[in-house]
Amino acid sequence: MKYIEEGEEILKRCNSKKCNDCYGLVPSLVKHEDKIYITYEPCKMYYYRKIRERLKDFVIEIPIDKNFSNFVIDENLEGVINTVNLYLRKELYKKGYGIYFYGNTGSGKTHLSFAILNYINHNTDLFGFAVYIPEFIQKIRDHYSSGDIDINPVLEVAKIPVLLLDDLGAERYTEWTSEQIVQLLDFRYRNKLATIITSNLKLNDLKEKVGERIYSRVVGLSKPVLILNEDFRMKEQDW
Protein backbone atom coordinates (compact mmCIF):
# COMPACT_ATOMS: atom_id res chain seq x y z
CA MET A 1 0.00 0.00 0.00
CA LYS A 2 3.06 2.17 -0.19
CA TYR A 3 2.03 3.68 -3.51
CA ILE A 4 -1.23 5.01 -2.19
CA GLU A 5 0.49 7.29 0.31
CA GLU A 6 3.32 8.25 -1.97
CA GLY A 7 0.93 8.79 -4.84
CA GLU A 8 -1.17 11.16 -2.80
CA GLU A 9 1.87 13.14 -1.85
CA ILE A 10 2.31 14.35 -5.38
CA LEU A 11 -1.26 14.42 -6.65
CA LYS A 12 -2.43 17.87 -7.50
CA ARG A 13 -4.37 19.20 -4.52
CA CYS A 14 -6.25 22.24 -3.41
CA ASN A 15 -4.41 24.99 -1.58
CA SER A 16 -6.03 24.17 1.71
CA LYS A 17 -3.50 23.17 4.34
CA LYS A 18 -5.81 20.40 5.41
CA CYS A 19 -6.41 18.86 2.02
CA ASN A 20 -6.29 15.44 3.67
CA ASP A 21 -9.79 16.05 4.87
CA CYS A 22 -11.00 18.89 2.73
CA TYR A 23 -14.62 18.82 1.61
CA GLY A 24 -14.15 19.21 -2.10
CA LEU A 25 -14.76 22.94 -2.12
CA VAL A 26 -12.16 25.18 -0.58
CA PRO A 27 -12.95 28.81 0.18
CA SER A 28 -10.55 31.54 -0.79
CA LEU A 29 -10.82 35.31 -0.60
CA VAL A 30 -10.41 37.51 -3.65
CA LYS A 31 -10.33 41.28 -3.80
CA HIS A 32 -12.19 43.04 -6.59
CA GLU A 33 -12.66 46.83 -6.74
CA ASP A 34 -12.09 47.31 -3.02
CA LYS A 35 -14.54 44.61 -2.10
CA ILE A 36 -13.60 41.21 -0.77
CA TYR A 37 -15.40 38.20 -2.16
CA ILE A 38 -15.32 34.59 -1.18
CA THR A 39 -14.91 32.03 -3.94
CA TYR A 40 -14.72 28.24 -3.85
CA GLU A 41 -12.06 26.21 -5.53
CA PRO A 42 -12.99 22.61 -6.31
CA CYS A 43 -10.52 20.02 -5.08
CA LYS A 44 -10.34 16.78 -6.98
CA MET A 45 -8.62 15.00 -4.09
CA TYR A 46 -11.91 14.90 -2.23
CA TYR A 47 -13.60 12.96 -5.04
CA TYR A 48 -10.49 10.88 -5.60
CA ARG A 49 -10.50 9.69 -1.99
CA LYS A 50 -14.24 9.09 -2.00
CA ILE A 51 -14.11 6.92 -5.10
CA ARG A 52 -11.01 5.10 -3.89
CA GLU A 53 -12.74 4.22 -0.65
CA ARG A 54 -16.08 3.26 -2.17
CA LEU A 55 -14.71 1.24 -5.08
CA LYS A 56 -11.57 -0.16 -3.45
CA ASP A 57 -12.63 -3.74 -4.24
CA PHE A 58 -13.01 -2.97 -7.93
CA VAL A 59 -10.43 -0.44 -9.05
CA ILE A 60 -6.65 -0.30 -9.02
CA GLU A 61 -4.83 2.82 -8.00
CA ILE A 62 -2.27 3.81 -10.63
CA PRO A 63 1.21 2.66 -9.50
CA ILE A 64 3.46 5.71 -9.50
CA ASP A 65 6.54 3.75 -10.52
CA LYS A 66 5.07 3.25 -14.01
CA ASN A 67 5.60 6.68 -15.48
CA PHE A 68 7.22 8.47 -18.41
CA SER A 69 10.55 9.06 -16.69
CA ASN A 70 11.34 5.34 -16.65
CA PHE A 71 9.70 4.41 -19.95
CA VAL A 72 12.50 3.69 -22.42
CA ILE A 73 11.79 5.02 -25.90
CA ASP A 74 13.63 3.32 -28.72
CA GLU A 75 12.95 3.85 -32.43
CA ASN A 76 10.08 1.32 -32.37
CA LEU A 77 8.21 3.53 -29.96
CA GLU A 78 8.77 6.98 -31.41
CA GLY A 79 5.50 7.08 -33.34
CA VAL A 80 3.55 5.88 -30.34
CA ILE A 81 5.12 8.48 -28.08
CA ASN A 82 4.32 11.24 -30.57
CA THR A 83 0.68 10.20 -30.51
CA VAL A 84 0.67 10.12 -26.71
CA ASN A 85 2.31 13.55 -26.53
CA LEU A 86 -0.29 14.99 -28.83
CA TYR A 87 -3.04 13.41 -26.77
CA LEU A 88 -1.75 15.01 -23.59
CA ARG A 89 -0.67 18.33 -25.05
CA LYS A 90 -4.04 18.92 -26.71
CA GLU A 91 -5.78 17.72 -23.54
CA LEU A 92 -7.89 15.35 -25.63
CA TYR A 93 -8.79 13.39 -22.48
CA LYS A 94 -10.90 16.39 -21.46
CA LYS A 95 -13.05 15.91 -24.55
CA GLY A 96 -13.62 12.23 -23.96
CA TYR A 97 -11.12 10.91 -26.50
CA GLY A 98 -9.36 7.65 -25.68
CA ILE A 99 -6.66 5.32 -26.94
CA TYR A 100 -6.78 1.59 -27.72
CA PHE A 101 -3.23 0.27 -27.26
CA TYR A 102 -2.74 -3.11 -28.86
CA GLY A 103 0.29 -5.27 -29.47
CA ASN A 104 2.16 -8.25 -28.15
CA THR A 105 2.59 -9.16 -24.50
CA GLY A 106 5.31 -7.23 -22.71
CA SER A 107 5.47 -4.46 -25.31
CA GLY A 108 4.70 -1.80 -22.71
CA LYS A 109 0.97 -1.20 -23.19
CA THR A 110 0.12 -1.23 -19.50
CA HIS A 111 3.19 0.76 -18.49
CA LEU A 112 2.42 3.48 -21.03
CA SER A 113 -1.23 3.62 -20.01
CA PHE A 114 -0.26 3.96 -16.36
CA ALA A 115 2.14 6.75 -17.35
CA ILE A 116 -0.71 8.63 -19.05
CA LEU A 117 -2.94 8.22 -16.02
CA ASN A 118 -0.15 9.32 -13.67
CA TYR A 119 0.37 12.39 -15.78
CA ILE A 120 -3.32 13.25 -15.62
CA ASN A 121 -3.52 12.55 -11.88
CA HIS A 122 -0.52 14.69 -11.06
CA ASN A 123 -0.87 17.58 -13.47
CA THR A 124 -4.52 18.23 -14.21
CA ASP A 125 -7.84 18.77 -12.50
CA LEU A 126 -9.01 15.34 -13.63
CA PHE A 127 -8.11 11.98 -12.17
CA GLY A 128 -8.35 8.35 -13.10
CA PHE A 129 -8.14 4.77 -11.93
CA ALA A 130 -7.64 1.45 -13.66
CA VAL A 131 -9.50 -1.82 -13.79
CA TYR A 132 -7.82 -5.04 -14.77
CA ILE A 133 -10.62 -6.50 -16.86
CA PRO A 134 -10.18 -10.25 -16.15
CA GLU A 135 -10.15 -9.57 -12.42
CA PHE A 136 -12.89 -6.96 -12.58
CA ILE A 137 -15.26 -9.40 -14.26
CA GLN A 138 -14.64 -11.96 -11.55
CA LYS A 139 -15.22 -9.34 -8.88
CA ILE A 140 -18.50 -8.08 -10.26
CA ARG A 141 -19.69 -11.66 -10.60
CA ASP A 142 -18.82 -12.33 -6.96
CA HIS A 143 -20.42 -9.06 -5.97
CA TYR A 144 -23.74 -9.90 -7.57
CA SER A 145 -23.80 -13.44 -6.27
CA SER A 146 -23.19 -12.10 -2.75
CA GLY A 147 -26.50 -10.22 -3.05
CA ASP A 148 -24.96 -6.85 -2.18
CA ILE A 149 -27.07 -4.18 -3.82
CA ASP A 150 -25.52 -1.13 -2.13
CA ILE A 151 -23.15 -0.52 -4.97
CA ASN A 152 -23.66 -0.95 -8.69
CA PRO A 153 -19.95 -1.39 -9.46
CA VAL A 154 -20.32 -1.27 -13.22
CA LEU A 155 -22.20 2.01 -13.22
CA GLU A 156 -19.98 3.59 -10.56
CA VAL A 157 -16.76 2.58 -12.26
CA ALA A 158 -18.23 3.87 -15.50
CA LYS A 159 -18.44 7.35 -13.96
CA ILE A 160 -14.73 7.67 -13.12
CA PRO A 161 -13.43 10.69 -15.06
CA VAL A 162 -10.54 8.90 -16.79
CA LEU A 163 -10.53 5.12 -16.84
CA LEU A 164 -8.01 2.52 -17.91
CA LEU A 165 -9.43 -0.83 -18.98
CA ASP A 166 -6.44 -3.12 -18.89
CA ASP A 167 -6.35 -6.33 -20.93
CA LEU A 168 -9.66 -6.29 -22.74
CA GLY A 169 -10.43 -9.47 -24.65
CA ALA A 170 -7.98 -11.64 -22.73
CA GLU A 171 -10.72 -14.23 -22.53
CA ARG A 172 -14.08 -14.99 -24.02
CA TYR A 173 -17.03 -13.37 -22.27
CA THR A 174 -20.37 -14.92 -21.40
CA GLU A 175 -23.50 -13.08 -22.43
CA TRP A 176 -23.91 -11.61 -18.97
CA THR A 177 -20.31 -10.43 -18.83
CA SER A 178 -20.54 -8.87 -22.29
CA GLU A 179 -23.63 -7.02 -21.20
CA GLN A 180 -21.75 -5.52 -18.22
CA ILE A 181 -18.90 -4.35 -20.41
CA VAL A 182 -21.31 -2.95 -22.99
CA GLN A 183 -23.07 -0.97 -20.26
CA LEU A 184 -19.78 0.41 -18.99
CA LEU A 185 -18.54 1.44 -22.44
CA ASP A 186 -21.92 2.80 -23.42
CA PHE A 187 -22.07 5.09 -20.40
CA ARG A 188 -18.61 6.44 -21.12
CA TYR A 189 -19.39 6.98 -24.76
CA ARG A 190 -22.61 8.87 -24.07
CA ASN A 191 -20.95 11.03 -21.41
CA LYS A 192 -17.73 11.68 -23.32
CA LEU A 193 -15.43 10.24 -20.67
CA ALA A 194 -11.86 9.44 -21.66
CA THR A 195 -11.15 5.72 -21.74
CA ILE A 196 -7.75 4.12 -22.31
CA ILE A 197 -7.88 0.45 -23.28
CA THR A 198 -5.12 -2.12 -23.64
CA SER A 199 -5.41 -5.43 -25.45
CA ASN A 200 -3.29 -8.06 -27.09
CA LEU A 201 -5.75 -8.12 -29.98
CA LYS A 202 -5.96 -6.00 -33.07
CA LEU A 203 -9.43 -4.62 -33.63
CA ASN A 204 -10.57 -7.29 -36.07
CA ASP A 205 -9.53 -10.03 -33.70
CA LEU A 206 -11.19 -8.21 -30.82
CA LYS A 207 -14.43 -8.18 -32.77
CA GLU A 208 -14.09 -11.90 -33.36
CA LYS A 209 -13.37 -12.61 -29.72
CA VAL A 210 -15.77 -10.33 -27.83
CA GLY A 211 -18.44 -9.66 -30.41
CA GLU A 212 -19.82 -6.76 -32.39
CA ARG A 213 -21.47 -4.93 -29.49
CA ILE A 214 -18.30 -4.42 -27.45
CA TYR A 215 -16.20 -3.88 -30.55
CA SER A 216 -18.33 -1.07 -31.94
CA ARG A 217 -18.23 0.81 -28.64
CA VAL A 218 -14.47 0.42 -28.36
CA VAL A 219 -14.15 1.90 -31.83
CA GLY A 220 -16.37 4.81 -30.81
CA LEU A 221 -14.37 5.50 -27.67
CA SER A 222 -10.76 5.19 -28.69
CA LYS A 223 -8.15 5.57 -31.39
CA PRO A 224 -6.22 2.36 -32.13
CA VAL A 225 -2.48 2.66 -31.54
CA LEU A 226 -0.22 -0.28 -32.29
CA ILE A 227 2.73 -0.87 -30.00
CA LEU A 228 5.29 -2.93 -31.81
CA ASN A 229 8.07 -3.84 -29.47
CA GLU A 230 9.79 -6.93 -28.21
CA ASP A 231 8.81 -8.39 -24.88
CA PHE A 232 10.34 -6.05 -22.33
CA ARG A 233 10.02 -8.65 -19.60
CA MET A 234 12.58 -10.76 -21.45
CA LYS A 235 14.88 -7.75 -21.84
CA GLU A 236 14.76 -7.23 -18.11
CA GLN A 237 16.35 -10.67 -17.75
CA ASP A 238 19.04 -9.91 -20.31
CA TRP A 239 22.13 -10.04 -18.07
Please report, as ranges, the residues that interact with ligand ADP according to CB under 6 A.
66, 70-72, 105-111, 198, 232-233
Taking CB atoms, the residue at the shortest distance from ligand ADP is 108
Q: Which is nearer to Mg ion, 110 or 180 (CB)?
A: 110
The yes or no reply on residue 197 touching Zn ion (CB under 5 A) is no
45 is in the binding site of which of Mg ion, Zn ion, ligand ADP, none (Cβ under 5 to 8 A by kind)? Zn ion
CA dist 75 and 133 (Å) reads 30
Neighbours of 160 (CB within 10 A): 23
Burial letters 181-190, b for 16+ CB under 10 A, else e:
bbebbbbbbe
Minimum Å distance from CB 221 to Zn ion?
30
Minimum Å distance from CB 27 to ligand ADP?
42
CA atoms within 13 A on the CB side of 233: 7
The interface with Zn ion within residues 29-48 (CB under 5 A) comprises 43, 45
Cα angle at 201 between 190 and 57, to 5 degrees?
Answer: 60
Q: Are 37 and 120 in contact (CB under 8 A)?
A: no
Q: Which is nearer to Mg ion, 46 or 100 (CB)?
A: 100
- Span of 9-17, 109-117, 187-195, 222-230 interacting with Mg ion by CB under 5 A: 109-117
